[in-house]
Copies of this chain bind each other. A is one copy, B any other.
Amino acid sequence: MTNKHVKEMEALKEHLGKHQLKLTRQRELILNAFLRQEHITAEAMYHQLAKADPHLGLATIYRTLNLFCDAGLAQARHFGSQTKYDNVSHKGHHDHLICTGCEMIVEFENEEIERLQEEVATQNGFTIKTHRLELYGLCSRCRH
């Protein structure tokens, strides 16, 4: 149960080492909780972890999730007023289909779209670093 996310833990340790940061109990705890889900808000994780460690501060969650972003394990996404942190450690880049009815999120990847994005960027003299594509609509269940 503790050695489930070995690879990601190594990635984190590498990042910490490179930036003279330290590995703490909290960072381990938050990493494990984070890797257990696809999308989560800092607030949701705060409540989730309150059972495991009632004194874990909200600021620490924010700091740590932002650290994961720097380390390339997470990616922050703004949905309206909420910021969700995505787990991008075990997969490549992906985009989202978001149901505005039930808030369900479906991930997808489309090589062709990615290729066309590069094309558009090149046409405009840009070099793309990242991108974000979100499709909002109704899923089949909410359409009825």
Q: Which residues in A have some Cβ–Cβ distance to B below 8 Å?
A: 78, 80-81, 97, 99-100, 106, 108, 110, 112-113, 116-117, 120-121, 124-140, 143
Chain B residues whose CB sits within 8 angstroms of the CB of A140 once the complex forms = 125-126
List 23 A-B pairs, Cβ < 8 Å.
Answer: A78-B78, A99-B126, A100-B129, A106-B126, A108-B124, A116-B116, A117-B133, A117-B135, A121-B135, A125-B139, A125-B140, A127-B137, A128-B136, A128-B137, A129-B136, A129-B138, A131-B133, A131-B134, A131-B135, A132-B133, A132-B134, A133-B133, A133-B134
Given the interface contacts A97-B120, A116-B113, A120-B97, does A135 sit within 8 Å of B126 by beta carbon? yes
Question: Which residue in B81, B113, B124, B139 is a CB contact (below 8 Å) of A97?
Answer: B124
> Are A136 and B125 neighbours in the complex by a CB distance under 8 Å?
no
Whether the Cβ atoms of B106 and A124 lie closer than 8 Å is yes
Of A97, A126, A128, A140, which is in contact with the most chain B CB atoms at under 10 Å from its CB? A126
For A80, list chain B residues within 8 Å (CB).
78
